[in-house]
Every structure is written in structure tokens, then in C-alpha cells.
Structure 1
Amino acid sequence: MPSKIQNPEIDRPMIALGLEGSANKLGVGIIRHFPRPSKSAPRPLAEILANIRHTYVTPPGEGFLPRDTANHHRSYIVKLIKDAVKHSGVRVEDIDVVCFTQGPGMGAPLQSVAIAARTISLMWSKPLVGVNHCVGHIEMGREITGATNPVVLYVSGGNTQVIAYSHQRYRIFGETLDIAVGNCLDRFARTLRISNDPSPGYNIELLARKGKHYVELPYTVKGMDVSMSGILAFIDSIANDIFGGNPKYADDGKMITNEDLCFSLQETIFAMLVEITERAMAHVGSQQVLIVGGVGCNERLQEMMGIMARDRGGEVYATDERFCIDNGIMIAHAGLLAYETGYRTQLEDSVCSQRFRTDEVFVSWRDD
């Protein structure tokens, strides 16, 4: 965890380099924060100077292994850092801090990027700040959308959480009991041998738009938590039956297609997410929902959440793929927020944790 030092009042722009590599996306971002216009301002003004990403893509039917993903990150990290610095127009000496994802995520990819962060920190004589991946998503979402104090639905390949801020922590109200929603979608894409380019979840979304028949699937909500593994096993068995020459038929006598299965999977798991998010909104009295994480780009999820929020007199906030998919700028932004309040990560404390919980982070930059 970062150590705390006393910071003088910051009266000049600050620049951070952020490195993200917790899964198959390698991202490098550079951001500039200007001083708060007043002490009552909720956050400093931010300017995105560079946001560059490269994705490790595997063949259809295959996932990405930690070792191979780490090799990808090691192969591209130097190029992406050089490209980001060039694109930003800043000099290395202008950068105040190097920020990196400290967790959660896949161990080997996290370590490969942490090593790169330590190396350039030493080479450039810059301080380090380790960033919680989930908090990076939340702060980037708040910055881009302007959401003030929303209930956050964090949905990605490795995480599914409903979160709300209270007393300088992002509190987890509900989460998956097994696999994440993005993992569920990705694994079903492998069953159907759907392309991983640009991402399996996006290609499932495209197929789902063509689906016409809803196939009833298990609906597993347990209080504020959800479970995805049983749904995946159930729909995998249907798909394997169809592949094995045992077709399934809808009520109108038409054969169930891959498009129908993708549509049914999305409708079921998104309805579960809407339910627990609405319950959290009622609990904390919020009228705002912020959707972050890679699955947050899904337009059907945004649509379903929007229907629920409008019925409650509220609204939904979401970003586009530049900021909802893993990226370096979110790490730079969250890291700089912490840096500006006096946080540093010492070299000996810069180890990664695959299970770095969202609610472990002391959110020192918020006191609302």
C-alpha cells in the first residue's frame, strides 16, 4: 500500500504517466491535472495528453494465458511508452509521477508492467504510485461523465461489483460469487468459437442484436450478489447439444440459433445486474448509476440500466470504449489524485496483488 507524506499546497499543473496491464490490454496514458480552482471544487481540472493501448488477441476458441499475455506486455511496453510521450508533447523531465496497476488482475501480466514502472521510475528519478485497477475505472468514469456520487456498477472480464462511496472508501454492496460477467461472456464466446477480435464480448453483443427467441436460463441472484457459473454451464450444454446434431426449437417451431443464445445470455445476466444495482440505489438513496469496466461499453446493458434508472427518476452515466475498456489514462488519473494528497509507493512496497480489493483503498482525495 502507498505511504503517506506531507504535501505542500500544489499550485502548478501536475503530470502523471500511467501503465495498465492487468489482463490482455496494455495501456499507457499521460494526464495533466491543473490546480483546483477553489478548495471547494470536487476535483482538479484534468487534460488527457495521451491514451495509447495495444491488445493481445488469441485465435477463436482460445483464451489468453497469463504467461503469453505477460510476454505480449513485455514486447510492447517500451514502444507504447515512447509513443505516449511523443504524442503527449511533454518531456520526460515534465512528468511528476509514474503510476501503475498494482492489482487486481492476472499475476504475470501485472508483474511485467510493475517491473516496467519500477524501471522507468529509477531511470527517470520519478516517484511511484500503485493504483487499484477498480478505483482507476471509477475515477475515470467520474471524471469523464461528471457523475457526482453515483452507485457504481463495475463489470469487466475479471470483476463484477456494485459499489457506493462512503467515508473515503468505495464500499462493495454486492458482487459475483464465482466468475465475473465478462469472463462468462468470454467463455461462452469460446464455446461458440467466436472471434476474439476486437473482443469476444463485443462480438457476442453483435450476435445478440440478431437474436429473436429467448431461451430460459437460470436466474441466480442471492441477496446483493450474483452467480454466473451455473448459467454458463447451462447454456454451454445447450450449445454443445446443437453442435452435436441435437437441435433445439423455440415455441414457434423455429430452430434456436447462436444469435438466440447470445441474446438470451445477455438478457438474463444483465437483468440480474440491473436488479442488484437498483437495490443498492434504494439503499443509499442515489439517483445516479455509473457503469464502468469493459462490459460497461455494451449498449444493451446501458439501455436496460437506463430504463430502470428513469423509472426511479434517475439517470445512467457511461463512457465509450476509450475509457471503459482497460486503459493507461485511468491509472494515471487515479494515481495522480492520490499523489496530490501525499501518497507514494516505495519500491519495496510495489509488489502486485491479484486480490487487491476495491474497498481496501483509502480514498484520500475525496471528503464529500
Structure 2
Amino acid sequence: MTVVIGFEGSANKIGVGIVRDGEVLSNPRRTYVTPPGQGFLPSETARHHRAVILTVLQEALDEAAITPADIDCVAYTKGPGMGAPLVTVALVARTVAQLWGKPLLGVNHCIGHIEMGRLITHASDPTVLYVSGGNTQVIAYSERRYRIFGETIDIAVGNCLDRFARVLKISNDPSPGYNIEQMAKKGTQYIELPYAVKGMDVSFSGILSYVEEAAHKMLDSGNCTAEDLCFSLQETLFSMLVEITERAMAHCGSQEVLIVGGVGCNLRLQEMMDAMCKERGAKLFATDERFCIDNGAMIAQAGWEMFRSADRFKCNWKISTLQ
């Protein structure tokens, strides 16, 4: 049996997860929540992570009922993400690995999301829609590598939703995207917004600029409600994502779609994607907030795959990226 502990802290979530041969033993996390109308700054986020990471680490060990001696490898998020939070987590992971005498592995954050999604859903060879606060990509596995078939050419869909939430002073607790989703359920009127799909790429900056400028004018005029704006924004953004995913599926000949990343737990996005999949005779795979949102277990799982591969192929490289 192989046990890997994973440290994740690329944005406003800090998590430590432990995985043993495909079984998630523990996965505690904390979220840095800012007041309505504000985003999270790298330095302040790193300060939050430093304050709680040892507590979260102890929770992970206690919940998994294991000791450091039982762990075979330490994995941490090496990027992409925010610099200061990433450094904070990397330093703790390196210290833990040295104290415990364990090999250390740096994990790509995006791969962590995909590998966790595949583990939980048992998807075999899906076209992956990776949607989060910092990333929007359509990915498929080809010739022994994950390859990007489409992506945002400016800002991520999660960033678009977050910044729209600031315009309307929507609460960041538990997350702005979740609160927009709840408000959108009460929307009854669709407001036409810019729609920008370019092949298998998308652009969200134009729609954000438009809605930022027009939101208060439309609300003050009484022509629509905040719920209508949330509904309209969601429908437009998600329609764009469904379109590029379907195009990538056709290109790859895929019959599976896997949604990962923080925005992936949005039920409306899952509903729209599922409708497209059913029309193509394909199948949708998705998870809930336990594994869609940034977490330590996804880093542990990707680290487990890397560690086992290194052992299986007898790689002669040192399992460390910080030495």
C-alpha cells in the first residue's frame, strides 16, 4: 500500500489530504473569506494560510488515523496559482518532508483536479472541462500527455463570476460563485449579453466589462432584478463552455465529459452539460464541492500517481523539486 499526503494552497483555500491507493482517508481545508465587494490579495491570503496550515495538517493526520511513519511521500502544489500562498505551502511541505524523511513531489494544480475527478467518478478517457477562479480550459489526454484543446484567451470564468459578484456586493461566504448560483435560481428574465466563442477558445472580459457598466443602470431603471442578471450571466457563460466542450468532443471522438474545478460544482452548469451529452449519446461525469473545490486530496492523488509511476518505471531521477 502507498500513502501520500498532499498540500494545496494555490488560492484562497488551504487543504491537506491523505490518499491510500485510491482511497481518500482525510481531506480537511480552510477558506480565506473577504468582505463583500473585495477580492483576496496574495499577501493576505498567504498570512491566512500560515496561521492555519499546521492545524489543518494535524486534522488530516487525526482524521486518517495515521502517523508520519505511515506516509510514503509528501506532495504539494507547485503551480499554477498565486505566488505568496504557493510559497507558504511549499515551505511547509518541504519542512515536513525533511522532518519525516520522505520524498517530496511537486504537483501541477490542474492535473490534481483532473486526477481527483477521474478517481471519484471513474471516468476512463474523458474530455475535461476545467473551470475555476484562475483557469478555464478544455483538456483531453492524447499521446501520453494532457493537451489543451481550448481555453480562455483573457480571464477565467470563475474570475468573471467573482468580479461580477463584487459589482453587486454579493457575499463571498462561502463563495461568490455559489451565491450567484442561488440568486440565479430566482431569476425569471433573460438579459441578452455579449457571447464570445472563437473556435475552441472563449473570451470573458467583454461580457464582464459590459455587465459591470450596465448592471446598476439596469437595476436602477427597474427593468430587471439582481437575480435576473445572475441568471443571464450564468446562462451565457455556461452556454459558451458547453459549446467549446462539444466541439472538442467531436474533434477527439470522445463520449465522456468530466467537469473539474471550483465552478464545476455549479448544478446549472452540470445540467446544461448533461443535456448536451445526452443529445450526443455521451455521458457526463461531475463531482460536488468536496472534490471540485481546491483540496489537498487531489494533490495527494496526483502525487500518488507520480510516485507509483516513478517506482514502476525505476526512474533514476530524485523525487524532489525543491532541492
TM-score, normalized by length of structure 2?
A: 0.96
CA contact (8 A) 1:136 1:331 kept: yes
| 1:350 equivalent in alignment to 2:318 | no
Give, in angstroms, the shift of residue 242 of structure 1.
Answer: 4.1
Percent identity, aligned pairs only, is 64
| 1:163 equivalent in alignment to 2:142 | no
Partners of 1:155 and 1:138 lie apart in 2 by 11
| 1:284 equivalent in alignment to 2:256 | no
- What is the one-letter code of the residue matched to 1:280? A
Structure 1 match to 2:42: 66
Residue of structure 1 aligned with 2:287, choices 301, 313, 319: 319
| 1:265 equivalent in alignment to 2:233 | yes
Residue of structure 2 aligned with 1:222, choices 192, 198, 202: 198
Structure 2 match to 1:115: 91
Closer/same/farther in 2, CA of residues 22 and 345 from structure 1, 3 Å limit: farther
Task: Show CA shifts across 1:297-341 (max 9, x none).
Answer: 000000000010000001110011100000000000000110111
Partners of 1:286 and 1:297 lie apart in 2 by 22
Give, in angstroms, the shift of residue 238 of structure 1.
Answer: 1.4
Partners of 1:330 and 1:283 lie apart in 2 by 28
Residue of structure 1 aligned with 2:32, choices 56, 59, 62: 56
Task: Show CA shifts across 1:17-47 (max 9, x none).
Answer: 10000000101000101xxxxxxxxxxxx11
Residue of structure 1 aligned with 2:128, choices 148, 152, 171: 152
Structure 1 match to 2:153: 177
Give, in angstroms, the shift of residue 240 of structure 1.
Answer: 2.9
CA contact (8 A) 1:129 1:345 kept: no
Structure 1 match to 2:75: 99
Structure 1 match to 2:302: 334
| 1:15 equivalent in alignment to 2:32 | no
Partners of 1:323 and 1:117 lie apart in 2 by 21
Task: Show CA shifts across 1:97-148 (max 9, x none).
Answer: 0000000011111110000001101111111010000000001000100100
Closer/same/farther in 2, CA of residues 128 and 90 from structure 1, 3 Å limit: same
Closer/same/farther in 2, CA of residues 114 and 147 from structure 1, 3 Å limit: same
Closer/same/farther in 2, CA of residues 78 and 345 from structure 1, 3 Å limit: farther
Give, in angstroms, the shift of residue 346 of structure 1.
Answer: 5.5
- Give the secondary-structure state (helix, strand or coil) at the position aligned to 2:181: helix
Partners of 1:240 and 1:210 lie apart in 2 by 19
Structure 2 match to 1:136: 112
Give, in angstroms, the shift of residue 350 of structure 1.
Answer: 2.9
Partners of 1:85 and 1:145 lie apart in 2 by 25
Partners of 1:316 and 1:236 lie apart in 2 by 33
Give, in angstroms, the shift of residue 241 of structure 1.
Answer: 1.9
In our comparison, the structure showing a higher alpha carbon Rg is 1
Structure 2 match to 1:237: 213
Task: Show CA shifts across 1:2-26 (max 9, x none).
Answer: xxxxxxxxxxx01001000000010
- RMSD of aligned residue pairs (Cα, Å): 1.2
- What is the one-letter code of the residue matched to 1:120? V
Residue of structure 2 aligned with 1:190, choices 158, 166, 182: 166
Higher helix share: 2
Partners of 1:345 and 1:81 lie apart in 2 by 25
| 1:306 equivalent in alignment to 2:274 | yes
Residue of structure 1 aligned with 2:102, choices 108, 123, 126: 126
Partners of 1:275 and 1:248 lie apart in 2 by 32
- Give the secondary-structure state (helix, strand or coil) at the position aligned to 1:306: helix
Structure 2 match to 1:354: none
Task: Show CA shifts across 1:164-217 (max 9, x none).
Answer: 001111110000000000000000001000000000000000000000111100
Structure 2 match to 1:38: none
Partners of 1:233 and 1:248 lie apart in 2 by 21
Partners of 2:141 and 2:182 lie apart in 1 by 34
Partners of 2:248 and 2:322 lie apart in 1 by 34
Partners of 1:117 and 1:223 lie apart in 2 by 40
Partners of 1:190 and 1:95 lie apart in 2 by 42
Closer/same/farther in 2, CA of residues 275 and 210 from structure 1, 3 Å limit: same
TM-score, normalized by length of structure 1?
A: 0.85
Structure 1 match to 2:265: 297
